Amino acid sequence: MVNMATEAAPLSSLDLSKVSLTINPSGAPPNFVDPPSLEPTVLGVGVTLITISLIIIVLRLVANFKHMGKFAIDDVLCVFGEICGIVYWAIMYNLAREGVARHGWDIPVTMITKSFLKRQFAHQILGGVVMRSVKATVLVMYIRIFGSLRWMRRTCCVLIIFTGLFYMSNVILAAVYCVLRKGETWDLTSLARCGSPIASAVVNGVLGVVADLAIFFLPFPVILKLQLTPRKRIGLTIVFAVAGLTVVTSIASLVFRVLASQGNDYTWNGTNVVIATFAEIFGTVIVSCAPALSSFWYNILTKTRLYARLRSGLFTNKPHRNKSDEGSGPWRDGSETNLHRNGSWGVLGGHETCTDRAISMKTMHWPDEFVSSAIKKTTTIDCEVRIA
C-alpha cells in the first residue's frame, strides 16, 4: 500500500517532486539524488540469465529438430515462456531505471505517472502468463519423456491444471483491481487499489513453492531406478542442482512477498520479488532444456570433426617411445605385454607381420573405458613368431 509522506497542508500547495511515497522509519529526509537502488541487480541478473537461456534454447531447438524432424509442444511453450520472460524483465528494468527499485522513502510522488501505472499493470498481467508457460513446459516435457507411465502422465496433467489456475488467478486479480472504473484516471488512487490484494500474492507465493517442490521431486522415483554411468550421474546432479536453485528463488520470492504484505518497504521488497521471479523463470527454462542438451551432445557434437580431433589429442597424447624400445608395460586395462615397437601390425582382418622377437598374445577391449556409452567388443590377436 502506498502511503504519501504529506503534511496537513493541502496537496495542491505542495511541491510533489519533493514529497516521498512513504516516510523513512529512521526519520531521515528522502534522498532523491543518489539513493540506494536495486537497478544494477535487475540489470546484471536479467542479462546474465537471458543470455544463458537463449543459448541453451537454440541448442535445444537444433537438437530436437535434428532428432524428431519437428518441434514438440514443450518446445513451443519454452520459446513462448522465454519471450514473455524477456518482456517481463524489460518492463521491470525500464521501471527500475525510472526509480521504482529504490526504498519507498527515496521515491518522489511525481514518479507515479500515467505511463508508469500502465506499465505496472502490464507487468502484473504478464507475470502470471509467463510463470504459467514455463511451469507447463517442464510438465509437458515430463509427459513426453515418461508418458508410458500412467501415474506420471496423470500427475503431470493434474499439476498443469493446478498451476494454471493459481497463476492465472494473478491475471484475474490484476484485471479486477487495476483496470480503471468508469470516470477514473491513472493516479495514486488507482495505484493504491491495484496493490490492495497483497494477501493473495502471499497465497500464490505459497502455492508456487508447493508446485515447484512437486515438479522438482516428481521424476525422482523413475530416475533412482536407472542404471547410469558415473559421467551421466554427474550431469544429472548438475541439472537437479540448477532445478534446486529455482526452488530456492521461489522460496526467496515468498519471503519478500510476506515482508511487502506487512508494509515493510513495499517498493524495495516488491523489486526483490520481481528479481527472484525472473530468476525462477529463466532457471526453469534452462532446466527444461536439459534432455535436449544431452541429445545435442551425443547426437550432434560428438559426431563433429572438431570433437574427434579434441578427443584424439586428449587421449593419445602420451610420452614418445623410440622404435627400438620394448613396449612392455601396463596397458589401459592393466594387462601386461612384451610387444616390441619395431613389430609391424596391420588392421583387423588384414595382414600382420612380426619380427623375430617374442610377441605375446594381447586381448584388447575396444572401445576402452574412455568410451563408456559405446558397445564394447573383446578382440584377441595372436601373432606367431617368424624367424628370418
Q: What angle do CA 105, 107, 109 make, to 5 degrees?
A: 105
Q: What is the mean pLDDT of the chain?
A: 76
Distance in angstroms (rounded) separating the CA atoms of residues 281 and 140: 16
Higher pLDDT, 49 or 291: 49
Task: Specify the pLDDT at position 123.
Answer: 87
List pLDDT tens digits, range 136-191: 999 998 998 888 889 999 999 999 999 888 888 878 887 777 777 777 777 777 77
Fold (topology level) of 11-302: Rhopdopsin 7-helix transmembrane proteins (1.20.1070)
Dist CA 125 CA 139 (whole Å) = 22
Most confident of 99-103, 303-307, 342-346: 99-103
Distance of CA 165 to the CA centre of its chain: 23
Cα gap 298→232, rounded to integer Å: 12
Stretch 29-53: mean pLDDT, rounded?
A: 93
Report strand pairing: 377-381 vs 336-337: unpaired
pLDDT at res. 155: 94
**Nearest-angstrom CA–CA distance, 19 and 4:** 7
Q: Which residue is listed with cell 528463488?
A: 249
Averaged pLDDT, 115-133: 87
For cell 511451469, name the residue.
Answer: 135
Kindly state the average pLDDT of the residues 109-127: 86
Q: Is the pLDDT of residue 103 over 70?
A: yes
Q: Comparing C-alpha atoms, which of 14, 19, 37 is closest to residue 29? A: 19
Report strand pairing: 336-337 vs 329-330.
antiparallel
pLDDT at 1: 40
pLDDT at position 329 is 45
> What would the mean pLDDT of 292-310 be, rounded to a whole number?
75
- Residue 4's pLDDT band (boundaries 50, 70, 90)? very low
Q: How confident is the model at residue 44 (pLDDT cuts 50, 70, 90)?
A: very high
% of the chain residues with pLDDT over 90: 24
Least confident of 52-56, 91-95, 122-126, 316-320: 316-320
- Between the alpha carbon of residue 149 and those of residues 155, 219, 221, the distances in Å are 10, 11, 11
Q: Does the pLDDT at position 333 exceed 50?
A: no
Instruction: Write the secondary structure of 4-17 as one string of H (helix), E (strand) and C (coil).
Output: CCCCCCCHHHCCHH
Residue 197 has pLDDT above 80, yes or no: no
Indicate whether 78 pLDDT > 90: yes
Look at the block and give the residue holding cell 592393466: 334
Burial of 7: CB neighbours in 10 Å, binned 0-12, 13-18, 19+: exposed
Domain ranges of the chain: 11-302, 326-388
- Residue 110 predicted with pLDDT over 90: no
By mean pLDDT, which of 41-55, 102-116, 265-279, 339-353 is the weakest? Answer: 339-353
User: Could you tell me if 63 and 299 are in contact, meaning their C-beta atoms sit under 8 angstroms apart?
Assistant: yes
Average pLDDT of span 20-45: 90
Q: Rounded to an integer, what distance in angstroms lies between the CA atom of residue 139 and that of residue 156? A: 6
DSSP secondary structure letters along 66-99: HHHSS--HHHHHHHHHHHHHHHHHHHHHHHHHHT
**R_g of the chain, CA atoms, integer Å:** 31
Alpha carbons within 13 A on the beta-carbon side of 48? 9
362-366/336-337 β-pairing: unpaired
Q: Among 311-325, 347-361, 369-383, name the one with the lowest average pLDDT.
A: 347-361
Question: Averaged over 298-323, what is the pLDDT?
Answer: 66
Higher pLDDT, 283 or 374: 283
Does residue 264 carry a pLDDT above 60? yes
Per the rule left: phi > 0, alpha: psi between -120 and 50, beta: everything else, 121 is alpha
Q: What is the DSSP letter of 30?
A: P
Secondary structure (DSSP) of 170-221:
HHHHHHHHHSPPTT--SSHHHHHHHTSTHHHHHHHHHHHHHHHHHHHHTTHH
Confidence at 357, pLDDT banded by 50, 70, 90: very low
Confidence of residue 12 (pLDDT cuts 50, 70, 90): low
Nearest alpha carbon to residue 312 among 321, 320, 322, 302 = 302
More confident residue, 251 or 368: 251
